[in-house]
Amino acid sequence: MKKNCLLCASIIVLTAGFAGADVVDDINDAIRNCSAEGYETRAQALQTITDIGKAATAQLLKTLDADTATVRTYVCKALGNIGDRNARPGLEKALKNDASPAVRAAAAEAMGAFKADALDALRLAAAEDDDEYVRLSATISIASVRTKPAIDLLIWLLKSPGGEVKQLAADCLRDITLQDFGTDYENWRKWWLDNRDTFQITMQTYPYHPVEDEE
């Protein structure tokens, strides 16, 4: 009986090993296609990697140092789609240090997958990145977290000197809270101080995604 169990276990391990090699080949092929000229090819590559899931994380993290910004951008998108928490440090590094605004924006978008754990990195990007597109992407990801700390940050962003970020923060606040004080920081701040303790984020106020429980 024990011999049969050991034989079955060996077959499973060997089978997994062969499957693993095939998966690695699929990942590498898809990553190469992320730099293809045709958008449809790149989109299909992204979908292939996303479908593979967490098994792709390690190889994707290595590719965050690729020479081509387009590849790094799609790798960030894939890591966000997969949502493996092991990818967070690599995405934070890309968000902070990558020379390409497109890559940093993709990293900011991907960071939304990590919810509350991403807020500190997203706050810095939304407030300090020198590219407006990156700041806007970080603001959208903050709003996607849909917790009271995220609302705190959106109100804080109303003090941003950048008009686009300020307007986007106001729009997100309106969608989440069903209140509308435009971009007026003081009015938002006063309303939030009066209502923060009792405010409930519900599916009705933000119907597009499930609501994350408060910690």
Q: For the chain, what percent of residues have pLDDT higher than 70?
A: 84
Which is more confidently placed, 42 or 9?
42
Name which of 25-29, 86-90, 115-119, 202-206 the model is least confident about: 202-206
Asked if 167 and 143 touch (Cβ cutoff 8 Å), the reply is no
- Written as six digits, the tokens of 124 are 């810095």
Name which of 1-10, 46-55, 110-119, 168-177 the model is least confident about: 1-10
Which is the CATH superfamily of the domain at 21-116?
Leucine-rich Repeat Variant (1.25.10.10)
- Written as six digits, the tokens of 189 are 């701040």
Residue 19 has pLDDT above 90, yes or no: no
Spans of all domains in the chain = 21-116, 146-215
- Written as six digits, the tokens of 120 are 């500190």
Give the tens place of pLDDT for each residue, 38-68.
Answer: 899 999 999 999 999 999 999 999 999 999 9
Asked if 147 and 176 touch (Cβ cutoff 8 Å), the reply is no
Q: DSSP class of residue 59? A: H
Residue 35 confidence class, pLDDT cut points 50, 70, 90: confident
Mean pLDDT of 19-33: 79
Asked if 31 and 61 touch (Cβ cutoff 8 Å), the reply is no
Closest CA to 37 of 75, 70, 76: 70
Asked if 120 and 141 touch (Cβ cutoff 8 Å), the reply is no
For residues 11 and 135, what is the distance between their CA atoms, to the nearest angstrom? 51
Task: Give the distance from CA 151 to its chain's centroid.
Answer: 18
Predicted pLDDT of residue 203: 56
Q: What angle do CA 64, 140, 203 make, to 5 degrees?
A: 125
Residue 14 has pLDDT above 60, yes or no: no
Name which of 19-23, 81-85, 184-188 the model is least confident about: 19-23
Which is more confidently placed, 189 or 22?
189
User: Residue 47: phi, psi to the nearest 5?
Assistant: -65, -40
| 3 state DSSP class of 82 | helix
SS (H, E, C) 125-188: HHHHCCCHHHHHHHHHHHHHHCCHHHHHHHHHHCCCCCHHHHHHHHHHHHHHHCCCCCCCHHHH
Which is more confidently placed, 51 or 26?
51
Predicted pLDDT of residue 24: 82
